[in-house]
Homo-oligomer: A and B are copies of this chain.
Amino acid sequence: MPFQKEETEETKGRILKVSELLFSEKGFDATRVDQIAQNAGVNKALIYYYFRSKEEILNDLVQSLYKDIEAISLDFAHKHVVQMIKDGLLDIKEDRWSFANNDAIRSFMRNVQKFYRILLDFALEHRRTMRILVFESLKNGRHHNGLFHLLNLLNKDDKNPIFKTIREADPDYTYHDNTVLFKFFFGFLPLISFAAYFDDYKATTALSEKELRNLFLNSYQSTMSYWVSGRDILIWPSV
């Protein structure tokens, strides 16, 4: 019964969308299941037909975000890192990335910038869940599904699909912890923070959404470049 299924999906999707909005506005704890039901236009009990608990709604939201980010990152790794290795333009030894020539570097840098742009736009599009991520991740004890799950994408084991993907192309691939920490700190965190606070800033400044986005993107890319250049992440061809 595809029609039936569609309807279901629609209802379940409505519940998820409404939950996302409310969680991001008031926080998980302050959001009432009644409110979700009311805003989704469904009976409260129906929510428990689709989800085991209120917490499962949160998990669903967060998990699907992870999958998307993972997919985007994986796509980048595939298309630009793995491909370059296969093409003999890049060689990774421990912590040092050696490119075949300056064109390869330039090309790679362009792709990295594009990757940031895609990541930023994704974060902005899902800024509500980003908000949720930010403040739910700050709570100890209960939710282990917070922001720090993203750190898994930086793990050095084969459970991390990005790591696995690159490693399959270049078995030497690995890196230092500090690097990871920094990539996260000055990589993901500002990006996610920016997305999370985006609407607040929009309300504070006279800038348009686009201007705000570009302003951030420029500074973000500059900062990233600053940190990347001359360091252990990107290494100019070792001649």
- Residues of A in contact with B (beta carbons under 8 Å apart): 24-27, 29-30, 131, 134-135, 137-143, 148, 151, 177-178, 181-182, 185-186, 189-190, 193-194, 196-197, 200-201, 204-207, 215-216, 219, 222-223, 226-227
Copies of this chain present in the complex amount to: 4
- B151, A204: Cβ atoms closer than 8 Å: yes
CB distance from A6 to the nearest CB of B (A): 21
- A27, B181: Cβ atoms closer than 8 Å: no
Instruction: Select one of B196, B200, B215, B222 contacting A182, CB under 8 A.
Output: B215
What's the dominant secondary structure at chain A's contact region? helix
- A139, B30: Cβ atoms closer than 8 Å: yes
Instruction: Select one of B142, B193, B197, B216 contacting A26, CB under 8 A.
Output: B142
How far does the alpha carbon of A181 sit from the alpha carbon of B200 in the complex, in Å? 11
How far does the alpha carbon of A137 sit from the alpha carbon of B201 in the complex, in Å? 12
How far does the alpha carbon of A177 sit from the alpha carbon of B204 in the complex, in Å? 9
How far does the alpha carbon of A181 sit from the alpha carbon of B207 in the complex, in Å? 10
Those 9 A-B pairs whose CB atoms lie nearest each other, nearest first: A135-B135, A29-B29, A25-B140, A27-B139, A135-B138, A29-B30, A181-B205, A131-B138, A26-B139
